[in-house]
Amino acid sequence: MTIPLEIKSKLLNMQYRICGSSAVEICSWTKKHLINEGSCYKRKFYGIDTNRCMEMGPDILCCNHNCIYCWRPMEFMSSKESEAMDPQEMILGLIEGRKNLLSGFGGHEKVDKEKFKDAYELFPNHWAISLAGEPLLYDKIDELISILKNNKETRSIFVVTNGQEPKKLKELNEKDLLPVQLYVSVNAPNEKLYKEIARPANSDGWKRLKETLNLLKNLNTRTVLRFTQIKGLNDSENLLEEYAELFEETQSNFIEIKAYMFLGFSRQRLKKENMPFHKNVQAFAEKLNELLPSYEIINEHSPSRIVLFRNKNFKGEQLIFFNDPKYESIDKIDKNWKIYSILKKYRKSRKILDKFKIDSWDLDYLTLKEHSEKVGFDLNSILKEINEFIHENYLINTK
């Protein structure tokens, strides 16, 4: 699909960069992260590098949902399957587009120079295939994922789907070309509410979604259910049992309960009153938790108004490890290491930081010394545990 010039002009004004029918955008969390004012919830939950995130869509005008809460330009969308764009060409074009969007940050006085250098010069190590449109309508999605997985710089690939293409998921699974993490949007527990919220282009949309959900427990990848809570529309207590039954059947690895945000084009369809506060998300999640025997609440990110559930039977590592090399020499963490540096090099050490109540989403630029003074913990205890953990989990040739 070729983007019409009028729409392309609007997208460029919205700070998208276009390559054929694909696009990239720099999200607000990446901008915040570059000036040490926070980072995306996916960093706290899954360990991604916010500054090296590529948020993109392979064909941003193709979607077979017309969700009322979508902040993207749904009004530009078509439900037709996209024409194939060469994935290698797409990757190169989007990287250049991303550099163009980042270029102005280099001279900003508040920008962390190390983070900016990594963001601008290095290949993006996290690919969020979720910007706009339905990624599985791009008929070379398998080639795109294959190229990214074979790039040694890539650590994680997240794909967000609306669940309308179960046949494509089966095909990707058979080819072993699923992303590192697959999100499925589930925002209603029954067909009636689903049609009201998702407004699917397919007459059998609910059937397709249910078929996708039935696949999750057998897919060779990590799986996440994404529920967008729209206050007063899909968060009634009367629906909790239906949600619990639906979610339990999937046995997905994670469930994210996230607030609808009154942003972008969604303001033409919903009201500000439909946006929950974090306390509303917490309350809904806690009530749902009582009905989900297979799940437990393990994390939250209040700035994003999101709560994370993990399947108790999930044995995988919570954080992302993809082509993450072991280090061959003994490193010692001292009081002058920035929290960001530790998380960047030694991802699992987050477990120790969490133990000492170091919420790294907005404190990752502090040294351990500064943070221990801020929260009142003994610095030597933090250093001792982090060093022991790093040696045990990362280092080789330590004897």
- Residue 75, pLDDT score: 58
**Model pLDDT, residue 320:** 55
Same domain for 41 and 104, yes or no, is yes
Asked if residue 128 lies in contact with residue 148, where contact means CB atoms within 8 angstroms, the answer is: no
**230 and 364 share one domain:** no
Q: Are residues 236 and 357 in the same domain?
A: no
Tell me, yes or no, whether 67 lies in a domain.
yes
Q: What CATH number does the domain containing 255 carry? A: 3.20.20.70
- Residue 398 counted as domain residue: no
The answer to whether the beta carbons of residues 62 and 80 sit under 8 Å apart is: yes
Residue 347 lies in a domain: yes
Ranges in the chain, pLDDT < 70: 1-2, 73-84, 317-330, 359-364, 395-399
**Residue 330 maps to a domain:** no
Residue of 197, 94, 74 whose CA lies nearest to 134: 74
**pLDDT of the residue at 177:** 94
Are 217 and 301 within one domain? Answer: yes
Q: What's residue 397's pLDDT?
A: 46
- Report the 10 Å Cβ neighbour count for 21: 22
Say whether both 365 and 285 belong to one domain: no
Domain boundary residue, one of 311, 330, 354: 311
Do 129 and 258 lie in one domain? The reply is yes
* Co-location of 295 and 206 in the same domain: yes
Residue 173 lies in a domain: yes
Q: Which of 311, 326, 357 lies at the terminal end of a domain, its last residue? A: 311
pLDDT at residue 301, rounded to an integer:
87
pLDDT of residue 399: 39
Do 148 and 218 lie in one domain? The reply is yes
Within-domain flag for 172: yes
- Is residue 169 domain-shared with residue 307, that is, in the same domain? yes
Residues 300, 356, single domain; the answer is no
- Give the alpha-carbon dihedral of 317, 323, 325, 326, to 10 degrees: 30
Residues 238 and 380 placed together within one structural domain of the fold: no
What's the total number of domains in the chain?
2
What's the domain range around 368?
A: 339-393
| pLDDT at res. 209 | 97
Q: Examine residue 48 and state whether it is found in any structural domain, yes or no.
A: yes
Task: Tell me how far apart the alpha carbons of residues 235 and 229 are, in angstroms, rounded to a whole number.
Answer: 6
Does 399 fall in a domain? no
Assess whether 270 and 175 both reside in one domain.
yes
Q: Which residues of 256-266 are buried (b: 16+ CB within 10 A; e: fewer)?
A: bbbbbeeeeeb
